Amino acid sequence: MCIVAAHGAAAACLWLLLPGVVGVTLALLVQALGVAVAWDRALLGASSSVEGLDLGPGDTAVLRHRDGRRTPASVGQGRFVSRVCVTLPVQARWQRSLIITSGMLKAEPFRVLRLWALWGRVPGSAPVASRQLPA
């Protein structure tokens, strides 16, 4: 709700600052963006959202969903690895990217995830991301 309200305020500012059709169009687009972002964030709490990640050899991984399902997936090229986040383009039933930030995991599992994302290997064979840490 706050996301939609913030985008509504931004849309109102654009409507007031830009006269005519341009201002109205931009305001509507910003408000639509707010609704889309709120919808996307709401889907993260759905039972089908990804809750955990079991890393396999090479480019394979198993996605664990909130409802208990496990989906095998292949991680494609175009990964981004830094000290604050890892972005994994997942090739499964749907084509999306997983973004895992350093705050979602403890230090050692996040280090192992970064190693796996870079080289496709992990020290040991235990699951890395068992669950996202509570906020």
Tell how strand 60-65 and strand 95-101 pair up: unpaired
Residue 103 pLDDT greater than 60, yes or no:
yes
Domain positions in the chain are 2-43, 50-119
> Mind listing the pLDDT tens digit for each residue in 2-30?
888 998 999 999 999 998 999 999 999 99
Residue-wise pLDDT for 50-102, tens only, equals 888 888 777 888 888 888 888 888 888 888 999 999 988 888 666 678 888 88
pLDDT at position 91, please? 80
Residue predicted with more confidence, 32 or 93: 32
End-to-end C-alpha distance for the chain, whole angstroms: 19
Does residue 40 or residue 106 have the better pLDDT?
A: 106
